[in-house]
Amino acid sequence: MNLDKIIIFCDGASKGNPGRGGWGAVVVTSAEVVELGGSESNTTNNRMELQAAISALSAIKEKNSDVFIYTDSKYVVNGITEWVYSWEKRNWITAKKEAVLNKDLWEDLLDLVKSRGEIEWELLSGHVGIVGNERVDKIASLFAEGKMSDLWSGPLKDYEIDILDIKHDEHKKALKKSSKKKNNFKAYSYVSLVKGIVKTHKTWDLCEKRVKGVSGAKFQKVASKEKEKELIFLWKK
């Protein structure tokens, strides 16, 4: 990793979408490491992902420094490298003639990008053991849970995390890949549990409408009528 550039790791989290959210970032220079974090009471995961990047870039004092940003958010990377310039030209209207969501944060992020030196964006795979990504995920989650995290600010040589190591953990990567395969099946139905009441849905859209933003809600895709009955039985116990 090139320390002629400032390195940023950033991430966002929300408990409910919308719900209480948190964001985390780590800014690394050749001399020091600064951890950043914050929370909002009613927000979304995408807003927290954007806020993490905005806050990290805002914390950099050297306006002309080149920056390398690592994030596991496709929304942020695709938005700032592709979509945002078209949105701006269309006065913040999407190709589908709809208002751009999170316009306020996109404008803030775009202003920061335009005011600085070269910025490179790298999309990481989340939850595969990359230490910088794991650290900002933990910071974001702690803030989203209302638990203040102890944030580091000090010399790079004294930082206990090997933040410059971007290798992933092969075991975690394999587990994540296996989990995706297990869930990649045709749905017989979707089962939801909200406030002690179980319902089944034939489409994900219907299930999502019931559980979205509801604290403590549970949902699961099932592959057969037998699995549906089994899950309903377990959730009603």
CA distance 113 to 118: 8
Nearest to 158 by CA among 6, 31, 2: 31
Measured in degrees and rounded to the nearest 5, phi and psi for residue 135 equal -65, -45
**Whole-angstrom distance, CA of residue 183 vs CA of residue 195:** 25
Q: Of 43, 39, 50, nearest to 79 (Cα)?
A: 50
Q: Which amino acid is at 131?
A: V
- How far does CA 130 lie from the centroid of its chain? 15
* Whether the Cβ atoms of residue 37 and residue 24 lie closer than 8 Å to each other: yes
Catalytic residue list: 11-12, 49, 72, 127, 137
DSSP track, 125-155: PTTS--HHHHHHHHHHHHHHTT------EEE
- Buried (b) or exposed (e) across 12-43, using 16+ Cβ within 10 A? bbbebbbbbbbbbbbbbbeeebbbbbbbbeeb
